């Protein structure tokens, strides 16, 4: 029983100590928060007084400065015997640089009697007020603006020649200034120059009017210098400078009739809880400035120290009370928690071991190769499939030796793969890569294997960077695609054979029908349509064949002289056009560098682009073709082909290289929509890029890049064997056989006896050409 009582007492000690800490902490926290709140409020009041005093002083100083500047200018102008525009412009232009906040314009105003209007108008025009036209309202005395000086760049126009007698606020101010011989301020109103603006942009404004009297023994009144100010712009400019966005401001003026008008009301974010009000004189008026502020946003007085102290104190008190309770009663609970944590740790360790075994089994069983490296290029993981595909048993941890160690080459099988192009190196730089084709040829893989490699950056544990590469063998896939290409070529050529035979018989039928043109006109038209349909089908088959083989046909790379090749293509195109009786084409070819390319495929690209430049012109217009080239970097050449044709809309440019895409402008021209897609395939197979832009002066400018030809010294270096020369030769031989069969078929269409005398001019039928090229 005694032991049980002691155990109960020990259990009660923890809650009692925690309660004592909690009560003490809450009391101290409340006292500290109350003191901080009182100090913050006192500081906010002082800051508010300082900011209000600064704003009031700034407003009074600026008003006084405006008045002093205006009076000085008026005194100087009054001393002139005759105030010309040049005198006014010289003396008032400095005001534009004086940064008069809210000032709109400075004006020189004179009084004129109704009978003196013509003479005064001529007088001031002669003194420089060009275009002045006085428009009096009613009879008696009128007040006209003679000269106006705009005081900021946003001001436009003026009110020169307007009779200001129609503005009661301005009229009263002018009359009072002349009567009292001192500067006066007008009642608030919307400036005449602002009344044409939208209502939301109009402001309550006022003017200072300074009278101008000569200094003779008998002073003579000359006129007034009038300065217009916009109230909201004036107050916002002052508050932007003095309050730095922390003060609300309201500027109120007392009008001559005793009413009070709010000139400007400036607001900033926040909920104001502090306010100050002061009155000051402006001319013969008494104005009121009221400033308000949110105490929580004032510099030095903002923030929430009392609330932070209160919340922090409560949290700290609760934490201390909880710690006391835990320390007093938590030994047994700690033991239970340690046991639970130990069990969970063992379970997590077993799960991790199981996951690692599963991952190892997957990597061992998959047929794709996987390589993981750390940020220094050291190999962390290399699965068996990867070692088998790469033909190596040992890894290299030095990236500079990877090319030689693994025998990595570009897809051509000759060029060593540069370090910067390796997917793992790109992954270490944070770049992702897909489908990078790499040839591996080494002692373990003497026949060579073509791999498709995907690389990704990898975040390893402990914050280090790494990269992972997954690769698969696509050698057989490429061979299968090559076989499909040969098959497509043979099928296309076999399809073209009956077309040629059918066309030959159609021509024979046309020859037989020439005897009686009137009786057999319908039959001739039918046969002519057969011939035209055969030509279109022949063109489509040939284009589809080029489109199919352009992706995977073997490249016969060799140095190519561009200039003679371009001249040959242009001459063929120009000769074809001249034979059709169309306007002669104009062309020019600049100096073109040598390139490393497949000459047959390159000719197809040039023929398509130059053919488009000649074909896509407006009816009756002469084509103009300009071909230029230049080096672009150490190993790249850029070729440009410009024309003056119908052009390509901006919205269509990203799509013109897609298959079967044609623009609306090209609807009236023959084509299949595959020519530019073929060009894109060929250029990309050479490792280049192709694009289109507008040509200066109208038309289109196509450009593409190709590898520059190697220097003679580089050409003498022996090329590394690809391991597949016999396969490439076999593919080339198959394609050559298919082309030879096609040529034999085409030649058969032109054997003696298969043609006939030309048809009459009114029944033209296009003859099949020996070697057509089709452009889109």
DSSP-assigned states of every residue in 451-516: EEEEEEEEE-GGG-EEEEEEEEE-HHHHHHHHHHHHHHHHHHHHHHHHHHHHHHHHHHHHHHGGG-
What confidence score (pLDDT) does residue 751 get? 32
What confidence score (pLDDT) does residue 565 get? 93
Q: What is the pLDDT of residues 573-631, one digit of tens each?
A: 777 666 556 777 888 999 999 999 998 889 989 988 998 888 888 887 888 899 999 99
What confidence score (pLDDT) does residue 737 get? 54
Average pLDDT over residues 81-92: 86
Alpha-carbon span 374 to 465, nearest angstrom: 6
Q: What is the pLDDT of residues 212-231, one digit of tens each?
A: 998 888 888 999 999 988 88
pTM over 0.85: no
Looking up tokens 């270096």 gives 717
Alpha-carbon span 151 to 237, nearest angstrom: 15
Contact 735, 489 (CB under 8 A): yes
Alpha-carbon span 577 to 613, nearest angstrom: 12
Cα pseudo-dihedral 630, 632, 637, 639, rounded to 10: -50
Contact 507, 754 (CB under 8 A): yes
pLDDT greater than 50 at residue 721: no
Alpha-carbon span 118 to 89, nearest angstrom: 24
Alpha-carbon span 73 to 77, nearest angstrom: 6
What confidence score (pLDDT) does residue 460 get? 61
Alpha-carbon span 705 to 409, nearest angstrom: 22
Summary mean pLDDT of the chain: 78
The H or E element containing residue 629 is strand 624-631
- Listed in order, strand segments (DSSP E) in 197-259 are 205-213, 221-230, 247-254
Average pLDDT over residues 652-668: 70
Q: Quick one: residue 738, left, alpha or beta (phi over 0 = left, psi -120 to 50 = alpha)?
A: alpha
Contact 317, 22 (CB under 8 A): yes
Strand duo 184-185 + 247-254: pairing:
unpaired
Q: What is the pLDDT of residues 176-221, one digit of tens each?
A: 999 988 999 888 888 877 777 888 778 888 888 999 998 888 888 9
What confidence score (pLDDT) does residue 550 get? 60
Alpha-carbon span 598 to 646, nearest angstrom: 31
Phi/psi of residue 248, nearest 5 degrees: -80, 150
Residue of 693, 704, 697, 703 whose CA lies nearest to 650: 693
Residue of 482, 489, 484, 487 whose CA lies nearest to 740: 489
* CB burial string 389-403: b at 16+ within 10 A, e below: bbbbeebbeebeebb
């Amino acid at each position: 029983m005694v032991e049980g009582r002691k155990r109960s007492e020990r259990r009660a000690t923890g809650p009692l100590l925690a309660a004592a800490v909690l009560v003490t902490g809450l009391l101290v926290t409340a006292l500290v928060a109350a003191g901080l709140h009182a100090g913050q409020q006192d500081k906010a009041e002082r800051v508010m007084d300082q900011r209000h005093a600064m704003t009031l002083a700034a407003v009074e100083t600026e008003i006084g400065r405006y008045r002093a500047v205006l009076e000085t200018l008026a005194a100087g102008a009054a001393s002139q015997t005759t105030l010309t525009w040049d005198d006014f412009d010289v003396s008032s232009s400095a005001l534009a640089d004086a940064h008069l906040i809210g000032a709109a314009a400075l004006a020189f105003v004179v009084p004129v009697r109704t009978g003196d209007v013509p003479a005064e108008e001529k007088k001031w025009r002669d003194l420089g007020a060009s275009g002045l036209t006085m428009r009096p309202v009613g009879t008696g005395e009128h007040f006209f603006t003679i000269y106006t000086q705009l005081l900021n760049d946003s001001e436009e126009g003026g009110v020169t020649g307007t009779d200001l007698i129609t503005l009661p606020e301005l009229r009263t101010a002018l009359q009072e200034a002349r009567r009292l011989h001192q500067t006066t301020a007008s009642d608030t109103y919307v400036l005449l120059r602002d009344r044409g603006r939208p209502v939301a942009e109009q402001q309550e404004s006022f003017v200072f009017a300074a009278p101008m009297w000569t200094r003779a023994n008998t002073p003579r009144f000359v006129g007034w210098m009038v300065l217009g100010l916009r109230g909201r712009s004036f107050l916002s400019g002052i508050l932007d400078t003095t309050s730095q966005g922390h003060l609300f401001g309201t500027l109120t003026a007392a009008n001559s009739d005793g009413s009070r008008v709010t000139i400007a009301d400036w607001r900033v974010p926040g909920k104001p809880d502090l306010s100050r009000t002061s009155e000051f004189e402006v001319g013969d008026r008494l104005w009121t400035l009221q400033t308000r502020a949110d105490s929580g946003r004032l510099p030095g007085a903002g923030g929430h120290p009392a609330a932070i102290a209160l919340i922090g104190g409560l949290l700290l008190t609760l934490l201390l009370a909880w710690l006391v309770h835990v320390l007093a009663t938590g030994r047994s609970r700690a033991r239970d928690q340690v046991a639970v944590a130990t069990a969970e740790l063992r379970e997590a360790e077993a799960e991790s071991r199981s996951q690692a075994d599963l991952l190892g089994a997957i990597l061992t069983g998959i047929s794709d190769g996987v390589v993981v490296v750390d940020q220094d290029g050291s190999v962390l993981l290399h699965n068996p499939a990867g070692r088998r595909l790469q033909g190596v048993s040992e890894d290299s941890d030095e990236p500079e030796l990877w090319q030689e160690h693994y025998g990595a080459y570009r897809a051509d099988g000759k060029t060593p793969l540069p370090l910067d192009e390796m997917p793992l190196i790109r992954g270490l730089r944070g770049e992702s890569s897909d489908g990078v084709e790499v040839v591996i040829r080494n002692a373990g893989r003497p026949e060579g294997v073509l791999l498709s490699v995907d690389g990704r950056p990898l975040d390893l544990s402990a914050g280090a960077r790494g990269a992972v590469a997954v690769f698969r063998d696509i050698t057989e896939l490429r061979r299968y695609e090559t076989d499909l290409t040969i098959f497509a070529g043979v099928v296309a050529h076999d399809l073209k054979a009956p077309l040629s035979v059918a066309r030959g018989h159609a021509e024979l039928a046309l020859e037989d029908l020439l005897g009686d043109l009137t009786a057999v006109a319908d039959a001739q038209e039918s046969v002519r349509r057969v011939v035209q349909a055969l030509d279109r089908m022949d063109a489509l088959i040939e284009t589809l064949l080029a489109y199919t083989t352009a992706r995977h046909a073997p490249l016969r790379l060799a140095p190519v002289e561009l200039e003679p090749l371009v001249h040959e293509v242009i001459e063929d195109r120009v000769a074809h056009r001249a034979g059709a009786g169309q306007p002669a084409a104009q062309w020019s070819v600049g100096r073109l560098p040598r390139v490393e390319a497949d000459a047959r495929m390159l000719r197809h690209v040039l023929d398509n682009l130059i053919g488009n430049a000649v074909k896509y012109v407006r009816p009756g217009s002469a084509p103009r073709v300009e071909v230029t080239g230049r080096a672009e970097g150490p190993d790249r050449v850029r070729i440009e082909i410009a024309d003056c044709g119908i052009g390509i809309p901006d919205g269509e440019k990203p799509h013109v290289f897609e298959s079967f895409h044609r623009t609306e402008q090209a609807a009236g021209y023959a084509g299949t929509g595959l020519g530019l897609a073929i060009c894109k395939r060929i250029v990309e197979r050479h490792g280049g890029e192709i694009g289109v832009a507008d040509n200066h002066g109208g038309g289109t400018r196509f450009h593409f890049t190709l590898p520059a030809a190697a220097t003679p010294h580089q050409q003498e270096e022996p090329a590394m064997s690809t391991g597949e020369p016999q396969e490439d030769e076999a593919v080339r031989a198959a394609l050559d056989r298919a082309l030879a069969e096609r040529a034999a078929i085409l030649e058969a269409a032109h054997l003696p006896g298969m043609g006939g005398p030309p048809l009459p001019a009114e029944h033209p039928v296009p003859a099949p050409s020996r070697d057509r090229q089709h452009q889109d």
